[in-house]
């Protein structure tokens, strides 16, 4: 089965002025620094470390925007809003975040492997 495309590579290339080396660096940083964010966020929420959890989801939302990953940005934004409004983040949203994040990481890895 072919992986779902979760990163808009043409958007990233455009935003980075056509610098394909910068695109590869951004994707590498994303994979290295954010691949475990959903798991880490769940732990932070479980331990009621809301300040660190907010930083993590806000950072993930930002990188999702830079990657043109609409789905990842949307779910991160929903979770961030729930947290800011002091709502309980549902397990369904956390599972959705994990699934979308995994697909986005896979998309980044596939691009990096193809280069």
User: Domain ranges in the chain?
Assistant: 9-114
| Separation between Cα atoms, residue 78 and residue 89, nearest integer Å | 9
- For the chain, percent of residues with pLDDT exceeding 70: 96
Which stretches within 9-90 are classed as H helix? 9-15, 20-34, 37-46, 50-67, 70-84
CATH class of 9-114: mainly alpha
pLDDT at 4: 66
Q: Judge whether residue 1 has pLDDT over 60.
A: no
> Cα Rg for the chain, rounded, in angstroms?
14
What phi and psi values does residue 93 have, to the nearest 5 degrees? -65, -35
Q: Judge whether residue 3 has pLDDT over 70.
A: no
DSSP for residue 106: H
Asked if residues 16 and 26 have their Cβ atoms less than 8 Å apart, the reply is yes
1 vs 48, higher pLDDT: 48
What are the pLDDT digits (tens) for 4-34?
668 999 999 999 999 999 999 999 999 999 9
| Separation between Cα atoms, residue 1 and residue 95, nearest integer Å | 21
What phi and psi values does residue 35 have, to the nearest 5 degrees? -60, -30
Contacts of residue 51, defined as CB under 8 A and 6 or more positions apart, other chains included, come to: none
Least confident of 3-17, 29-43, 49-63, 76-90: 3-17
pTM: predicted TM-score of the whole model, two decimal places: 0.93
């Amino acid at each position: 089965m072919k992986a779902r495309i979760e990163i808009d590579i043409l958007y990233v290339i455009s935003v980075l002025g056509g610098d394909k080396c910068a695109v590869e660096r951004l994707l590498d940083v994303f994979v290295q620094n954010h691949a475990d964010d959903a798991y880490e966020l769940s732990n932070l929420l479980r331990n009621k470390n809301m300040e660190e959890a907010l930083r993590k989801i806000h950072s993930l939302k930002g990188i999702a925007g830079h990657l043109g990953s609409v789905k990842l940005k949307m779910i991160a934004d929903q979770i961030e809003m729930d947290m800011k409004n002091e709502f309980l983040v549902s397990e369904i949203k956390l599972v959705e975040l994990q699934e979308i994040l995994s697909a986005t990481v896979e998309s980044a890895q596939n691009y990096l492997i193809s280069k």
